[in-house]
């Protein structure tokens, strides 16, 4: 029976035992997951973690993904082809997932012909597409998406309890131009170390949900957070002292953006600011300039 047909056909009885199937292991990847959390006055931290393994396999016609316990992952290697015997199906409805147990046997066998398209589909199962989306249009998205913006607000970590499980939740707000969006960060995303007000960040694999408060933007298990580092050619119109920070200046760029820069970093360029804008090549991490030099055509 073909893999796709197996996973999309309801078993005739609850005692159904699938016949052996010939599969190639396309991707085998560890997936750490925090099982329990420690909560304190300053936030949350992982207390215990388990490492499951995500597997994507193919019969040469379609691809499918399943998650198995780490203890069973030594039975096979990525790239190998096997006949599986003693596996089951997991799920309440189609499409089902293949269930690997201690009784599952992997018999080494001949290679399967896997097309480049199937390999691309396998990668998409591990890391689904998440297109960069303007903040102003994200509430209309129906799939996964990525947002970038200035981090302007971070809430304290909240402890959420559900079904005898407790996990962290944190609310953040991103700004892009005049648009402000709230994002709910769950579990590992809620304790990311890139969360600092004033930085520009990128949050991937977000989704929208509906609640009594309207459309909400939330993280998923695939979400990642990273600080945005930008390198560009920009025009500097002027500089101003930063109140309360004598070692820093604020640059005004021709795009009406501002960026912090240390006095020491700006000093070699100050004499060149005669006929603004002064064109410079600039590298910005978050909202602060970390490298700047005169731009030469």
* Tens digits of residue pLDDT in 59-114: 999 999 999 988 898 999 999 999 999 999 999 889 999 999 999 999 999 999 99
The pLDDT assigned to 287 comes to 67
pLDDT tier for residue 9 given thresholds of 50, 70 and 90: very high
Q: Mean pLDDT across the stretch 280-297?
A: 85
| Dihedral sign (CA 277, 281, 287, 289) | negative
Residue 297 pLDDT > 80: no
The pLDDT assigned to 1 comes to 65
Pairing outcome for strands 179-186 and 214-218: parallel
The pLDDT assigned to 12 comes to 86
The pLDDT assigned to 193 comes to 86
Asked whether 50 and 43 are in contact (CB, 8 A), the reply is no
Residue 286 pLDDT > 80: no
43-58 sheet: strands from edge to edge: 63-68, 43-58, 21-40, 81-85, 105-108
Q: Mean pLDDT across the stretch 251-265?
A: 89
The separation between CA 104 and the C-alpha centre of its own chain, rounded to angstroms, equals: 32
The model's pLDDT over 133-151, given as tens digits with 9 standing for 90+, comes to 989 889 888 899 999 888 9
Q: What is the pTM of this model?
A: 0.74
Distance CA 134, CA 77 (A): 41
Residue-averaged pLDDT of the chain? 91
Q: Mean pLDDT across the stretch 216-222?
A: 94
């Amino acid at each position: 029976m073909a893999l796709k047909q197996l996973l999309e056909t309801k078993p005739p009885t609850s005692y159904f035992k699938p016949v052996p199937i010939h599969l190639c292991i396309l991707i085998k990847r560890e997936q750490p997951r925090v099982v329990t959390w420690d909560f304190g006055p300053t936030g949350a931290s992982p207390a215990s973690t388990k490492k499951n393994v995500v597997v994507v396999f193919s019969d040469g016609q379609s691809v499918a993904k399943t998650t198995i316990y780490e203890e069973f992952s030594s039975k096979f290697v990525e790239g190998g082809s096997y006949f599986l015997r003693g596996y089951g199906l997991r799920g309440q409805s189609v499409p089902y997932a293949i269930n690997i147990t201690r009784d599952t046997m992997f018999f080494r066998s001949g290679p399967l012909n896997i097309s480049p398209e199937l390999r691309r589909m396998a990668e998409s199962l591990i890391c689904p597409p998440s297109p960069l989306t303007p903040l102003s249009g994200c509430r209309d998205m129906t799939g996964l998406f990525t947002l970038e913006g200035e981090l302007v607000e971070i809430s304290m970590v909240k402890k959420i309890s559900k079904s005898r499980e407790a996990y962290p939740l944190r609310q953040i707000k991103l700004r892009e131009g005049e648009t402000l969006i709230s994002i709910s960060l769950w579990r590992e995303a809620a304790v990311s170390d890139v969360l600092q007000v004033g930085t520009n960040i990128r949050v991937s694999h977000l989704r929208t949900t509906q609640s009594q408060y309207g459309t909400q933007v939330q993280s998923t298990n695939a979400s990642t957070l990273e600080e945005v580092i930008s390198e560009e050619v920009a025009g500097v119109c002027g500089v101003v002292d930063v109140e309360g920070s004598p070692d820093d200046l604020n640059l005004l760029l021709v795009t009406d953006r501002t960026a912090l820069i240390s006095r020491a970093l700006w000093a070699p360029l100050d004499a060149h600011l005669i006929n603004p804008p002064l064109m410079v090549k600039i590298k910005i991490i978050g909202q602060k300039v970390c490298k700047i030099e005169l731009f030469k055509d």
